[in-house]
Structures are given as structure tokens and as C-alpha cells.
Structure 1
């Protein structure tokens, strides 16, 4: 991680998503990985796996997973209350995880851009499948050309998508359409038009 800061990026505000391995946790305590230089967040997939391992309850795991992805404080509070009702010890486990901003999207501050896990890194591993035990020079060559090919093809597909009159990718478009559908059940009250302050009361609708 020190070499990453020295040779890869010195960008301020970078977000690091990882599992809670002791060596990673210790590294994230170093000044160069502390806010506002960097923000450490936990991989939710690993966190839920550890939670389920220690409590062995699918209902609890589902409740915690839902709570993690909530974007409203009252829903986070409600989720934690439900977990405590099912098993009070589970709340102690969650408290021991550490700062809530490291696992709750509601408290994240937007630094992880909604990314909840390290699947992106796993995807890179998938691209590199089949190159183990090759000489170092071959590994470097394969990495460069294989990853470059992936980005070239992705860029070509993006231009085709844009030329067809699309602004967003199909995945993003589905999310936006779903949110628009949910928004039809919401009630919006203007509080201060000049400052852009509004009160939004969410309806039930089809969630």
C-alpha cells in the first residue's frame, strides 16, 4: 500500500474498499491512508460472510444486508432495531466492527460511490486467469495487452451505445427507470426554493 501511494496515485480523497484483515487494518491507520487523504471502507460481501459465520442465522444476515444498503437514517435505525430483536448479541458484533461510516451507505459520505464490495478486483483476477507460473516478463506483457484489449472493446461499445442516442448504459438506465417509478409514490414539499431545500415523504408504492 505504501508503494501504491508512492508510484501509482497521490490523489486526495481516494476510497479503499477491503476486507477486515489485520494487516490491512493496520495499514489503513497510517497517516497517508487517513481522512482527508483517503477513506477506508469495508467490503460488504466479506462483512456479511463474517457476520453469518459468527451468528449462523440467514434471517439475521438478510436483515443486516438490508440495513447496510439503506440510504436513510430512520431505515438504518429500524434495521438495527430488528437485528437487536432477533439476537441482541448481533448488535454488539456490529458495534465492534467499528465506525458506522465504514459499512453503512447512509453514513458513507459518498466516498465509495455506491460500490459495496471488491467484485471489481475479482473481475480483474478473472481477466488474468490462466497466466500463473509464467515468467515475469510474460506476465507483464500479458497484463498490459489483455487489460488494454478489454478497455478498447469497452470504449468501442460505449461509443456505439452513445451513437444510438443513449446517454446512460443499459444497467444505469434500468436503475434510473426503477427510481423514477418509485418516485411517483413520493410527496415533495418545497421548503426553500432558492436554496434547493425540499422535504420528501416516501410513499409505499411497489418496492
Structure 2
């Protein structure tokens, strides 16, 4: 088994499904390897000056440093945001308090700045040092309330779905078979999504499945709202939510022109998968390379006893809440 690291870039398509963008095998996660990877992403996926991108990752120092060398991922072209799951995991590792961990997640996932402030005050009341720890992280990088709409609601990086789905059973193979399996399974993935998009279009479906369900839910919710327009050109309005169960009667301001919209149009969904994968010729037909491949035995590790792990390593963020509270109470006693 080799020591190489697999870098993966993923996004969500118009049907809210994971879309793998790029895979790369590197020796280590360094500033140099991440810089090269980001440069390739910018070259092939962000060719236009008006392209906008939000990069969500953990807080790996190599990646954070690499962003400074790739303008496509720096404001105003792009922004970098932290995975909320990793922030909460680091927070919990330091303070080891289930209630604080839950509040940390709620604060990061809250879309209202007013409610975010209330949650932060709860954290401050429990542990002022924990409050200061979160305060030292730029709020735009870990909270939905201060994100400015760049995340479009995405809080975490869930690479395990892509790695387990596309590369299941391949990670312990030599490098060439890993590349071949990645190519073949990615091609099948795109083919399946193209078939699904064609089905939607042939059925005269105007929205992708996910967007259609979301639209129906929002339409039912909108019946309970009163809209008063203020500016037609700016498409701004006030929205009042009616009281159904004792809650409601809140007034919100909506400015459509300043929002980013993922419309879920089926044509946009199909366009995502319109690029074709080409079959790979036999090795005897490959173009000659201008470098020598040198076998490096130090990049191989001796396999230990037992079965190799093939899923994401679990940590305290995966512990069920009830059991986590029991463990915490046991430690306190």
C-alpha cells in the first residue's frame, strides 16, 4: 500500500447531488501540492473573469496557505470557508462539553444574525473562554449568518460519499488501477446522471427533482406570508410571516437582485454532465513522456494486521447525542 494522499474536489449539481470535479494523487498535503491542485481547478473550472466560487474545506494549513497563491479563490473572485463539522470537532476536543458542542453547531448553522448572537451569548454564559475561542475565528468563515450567501447553505464537506462511492475498494490498489477505476466509475456516474436529466426533459419537467420538491414546500409556506413590494427595479420587498401556532408575525426584507439563486432548471442540470469521457487507449498507444518514472520503495508501507479500513474515520462528532451526554456525565462524576 502506498503513502500517497488523494486530493478530491466536489460540488453539488442542480439536483443537489454530489458531483466529483477532480481527483489527484500527491506525495503529501503541502502548500506546493495544494497550490498545484487549486491552479488546475481554476484552469479547467473557472476560466472566466466573472466566475465566482466558494471553497469549503477543513483548516489544513497547506490549503490555507495555497489559497494566497491562486487569485481565483480569493475575494472578489472567490472566498474560503471552513467546514462547520471540523470547527465543532476542534472546539469539542478543546472543551469536551456536549452542550457547548451543540451550541457551537447551532451558532454556525443559524442563518439569522440576531439568533446567532443569542446562541453566542448562551455559550458565553457557560464558558467565556470557549466564547473567546470561537470569537477568534472570522465569523464569515464558519457561520451561515455572516457568510454573505457564498455557501448557498452548504455547511460541511462530505467527501466520504464521493470517495466511498467512486473509489470503493480501490484505495489499497497500486496507483494505475486507482486511476483507471476512478475514470471508469466517474464515467458511469455521469452517464447515469445524463439519463436522469433526459428523463426530466422528456417529461417536460421545468425543474430538477430536488428543486421541484423544494419549490412545492416553499409555495406551501408562502401562503402563510404577506408580501409588500418596495422597489420594482431592485426587486426588494418586506415579507410578513403569519401566525399559525402562536409563532410568526415576523417581518423580513427580501432583495432578490442581491441574492445568488440556484434555480434547479433541468437544462442546467443536464449541462453539468454533457462533457463526455473518452475510452483510454492501450498503453502501447500512449504519447511518450518527458520524464522518467522512478520506483520509490519509501512510499510503500507494510500492511498491519487486520482488515483495512474503507470508510471515513469516525470521531466524537459521530457519537450519538444521548451516549455522548452519558459519557460526559460519567467523566464529571
Larger of the two Rg values belongs to structure: 2
Give the C-alpha shift of residue 195 in structure 1.
3.2
Q: Check whether the contact 1:13–1:35 (CA below 8 A) recurs between aligned residues.
A: no
Matched residue SS, 2:136: helix
* Partner Cα separation in structure 2 for residue 205 and residue 175 of structure 1: 21
* Partner Cα separation in structure 2 for residue 193 and residue 36 of structure 1: 27
Task: State the number of aligned residues.
Answer: 205
Matched residue SS, 1:195: coil
Q: Which has the higher contact order (CA 8 A, sep 6+)?
A: 2
Instruction: Report what 1:65 is aligned to.
Output: 105
CA spacing shift, 1:154–1:95, aligned 2, 3 Å: same
Alignment partner of 2:168 out of 125, 129, 146: 129
CA spacing shift, 1:176–1:104, aligned 2, 3 Å: farther
Q: Does 1:178 align with 2:217?
A: yes
Q: Check whether the contact 2:83–2:156 (CA below 8 A) recurs between aligned residues.
A: yes
More helix by share: 1
Matched residue SS, 2:145: helix
Instruction: Report what 1:23 is aligned to.
Output: 62
Consecutive unaligned residues of structure 2, counting only runs of 5 or more, are 1-33, 248-333
When normalised by structure 2's length, the TM-score is 0.54
When normalised by structure 1's length, the TM-score is 0.82
Give the C-alpha shift of residue 124 in structure 1.
1.9
CA spacing shift, 1:40–1:124, aligned 2, 3 Å: same
Q: Does 1:102 align with 2:149?
A: no
Q: Check whether the contact 2:54–2:79 (CA below 8 A) recurs between aligned residues.
A: yes
CA spacing shift, 1:51–1:179, aligned 2, 3 Å: farther
Q: Does 1:8 align with 2:48?
A: no
Runs of 4+ in structure 1 off by over 4 angstroms are 203-207
* Partner Cα separation in structure 1 for residue 163 and residue 201 of structure 2: 29
